[in-house]
Chains A and B, each alone.
Chain A
């Protein structure tokens, strides 16, 4: 026992001597904060509602005077259980992508409107933030030319709810801004004090007419320049009362029912008396500014059926007949002082010219023409004129017109002989029936012979 006591004492002494420890207790630190949310009871609906906490202090618009005294007895009436009535729903201005609507409720209500392309109203919803008697909203970001369904849900302060039946409106159709193609084969034949004009109208289904304007200086650049000489949907016109030996410039603008004008087909002629027409000196060629000098055929874009066409070979564009061809030059590629860009097609020794006109967005010079009907190669010339009608640049190229491959399937060989095959099958069938009947008859006769 003594020994054990000494052993234990020694161990404790050694532990104290040999081991210096620094115990660590879990320590902590705390902090407290307040999270404060302010709540205001004013709905600015023009009605003082002390029961909702509105007072002249917190809601001066609704409660302009001193807060009303509580009702005698403080009893309070029965709880409102009648939902609000929605009436006078009016769909106001409808645009391509928005619609305004207004409605009323017979008591103050907080309304939500849900809309969509179906009666599931998946496209969106909006909610008022206050209670009103008269309500209005505008739905924006809608698709054009689309039927929209919507419904209105209104809730009064007592949480009674009512909603409209399904309502519909139709957003506007985008305006037609695409001009018709230019007239084709516009030709001028001069005579004595007169010029005969002939052309073919474009195939656009909304084509309405052709306006031809005339000038003695240069081709009119718009339907409102020069002297109007023709405005109808015919295909020829005789311009009379002209001065001989004076060159007349005509521009014909085809237009559609929406009032869009084509870029203009141009022609010029000089009336004369006698057998020999006067010689017309070509417009002078002057050295162009550097921006014009560097323009090439590659700078022009050619589109057909909405697809861009690329140069098949150097200076050669391949496109289909019967489909309008749009020629475009980026507006920024030429200086603004530039007056006219004209494209000329040569067909069987005749020249047909068209203006490239700036589009309303001022992004490009454009012309849409109907390609020649006959398959073949047509020399193309693009002339750039300055404001003095001097030729600054002449670019040449070639248009190759080809016929679109029709998707007609070859007729199978048996379709060709279908009638004969039917006849043959019927004959075979008849022969088989005749053979069968003959066999039956023979069998019958044989049986009778045996019986006898």
Chain B
């Protein structure tokens, strides 16, 4: 029994002397919050009441200064513990103007944009991925389509939109996060005129860094903190241009899926 007591004491010491982390995680799990205490129950209820309690914590309660707010104790954290994420459902995008199916619209791309509002209380933020349902993304039928945008350097967005080659029609996109710091490197360009995209430590520039849609998810935004209650408005801009590719008349459609996932 003495040995058992020794083990209990050592175990308690090991746990209590552990480092204080914002959260603990592995590749499969993340512990959003933890607490050391001696007891309590999550579900105690009667016909009229429901109770959750924790016994044995020290110095719990809410306190705050002008700069910080401290919620000490397991139950204080509980209201924050349930991670949630939501994404809005914007309307379908109708591109700015019709394209003449015979002559095309070379040098005058059509534009359109969708804004997804992502809201999460996840302290580690979220990532937004885009994919299209088909390749090529924008089709009328099996034979009539817009190719996906072809960047000059494969895998790297073009700083400026480049008109498709003669006889081609293309759909491309770029992004404009509400918080520019959330832009993934692929859509950042080095400072300066005509700076290359996919630049580490670069800047986010409106209407620059054009890339192609694909049927595999592509991460376009990554935020490291929770959003506010109003969420983050993440804008995805599309452009279409035909350089005299013969396109059968009709409505060409690209189905785009945006997925917001907590980090």
A interface, CB within 8 angstroms of B = 3, 6-7, 10-11, 14, 17-43, 52-53, 58, 110, 127, 129-131, 157, 159
Contact = CB atoms under 8 A, between A and B. Distances in A.
A10 B7 CA distance: 8
A33 B7 contact: no
B224 to A, nearest CB: 15
A351 B94 CA distance: 81
B72 interface: no
Contacts, number: 195
A33 B87 CA distance: 12
B3 A33 contact: no
9 contacts: A14-B8, A18-B36, A20-B40, A20-B54, A20-B74, A23-B31, A43-B100, A58-B249, A129-B100
B4 A6 contact: yes
Given A24-B30, A26-B262, A33-B114, A40 B101 contact: yes
B240 interface: yes
A22 B87 contact: no
A286 to B, nearest CB: 66
A40 B100 CA distance: 5
A34 B34 CA distance: 43
B146 A30 contact: no
A39 to B, nearest CB: 4
A20 B78 CA distance: 11
Contacts of B85: 27-29
Given A17-B39, A37-B240, A43-B102, A22 B260 contact: no
Interface stretch (B59-67, B188-196, B202-210, B251-259): B251-259
A129 B104 CA distance: 8
Contacts of A52: 101-102, 246
A7 B171 contact: no
Given A7-B7, A10-B8, 7 more contacts: A20-B40, A31-B89, A35-B92, A35-B93, A39-B252, A40-B98, A41-B100
Contacts of A40: 98-101, 249
Contacts of B3: 3, 7
A52 B93 CA distance: 27
B254 A35 contact: yes
B81 interface: yes
Interface in B72-129: 74, 78, 81, 83-95, 98-103, 106-107, 110, 112, 114, 116, 118, 122
A21 B103 contact: no
Nearest to A129: B103
A157 B242 CA distance: 15
Interface string B118-150: 100010000000000100011010000010000
Nearest to A30: B259
Contacts of B54: 20
B126 to A, nearest CB: 8
B258 A31 contact: yes
A24 B83 contact: yes
Contact of B260 (A24, A30, A33, A127): A30
Given A19-B36, A37-B171, A14 B11 contact: yes
Nearest to B107: A127
Interface in B205-263: 238, 240, 242, 244, 246-263
Contacts of A10: 4, 7-8
B11 A11 contact: yes
Contacts of A18: 12, 15, 36-38
B250 A39 contact: yes
A43 B33 CA distance: 65
Given A11-B7, A31-B88, A34-B92, A53 B101 contact: yes
B146 A28 contact: no
Contacts of B252: 36-39
Contacts of B35: 19-20
B11 A41 contact: no
B260 A29 contact: yes
B149 to A, nearest CB: 13
Nearest to A40: B98
B29 interface: yes
Contacts of B258: 30-33
B259 A33 contact: no
Q: Among the interface residues A27, A31, A35, A129, which one has the most CB atoms of the partner chain B within 10 A?
A: A35
Q: Among the interface residues B91, B118, B258, which one has the most CB atoms of the partner chain A within 10 A?
A: B258
B4 A37 contact: no
Contact of A33 (B37, B92, B244, B246): B92
A51 to B, nearest CB: 10
B249 A41 contact: yes
Contact of B102 (A34, A41, A127): A41
A24 B91 CA distance: 32
A39 B249 contact: yes
A110 B84 contact: no
Contact of B98 (A31, A38, A110): A38
B93 A39 contact: no
Contact of A39 (B29, B39, B98, B122): B98
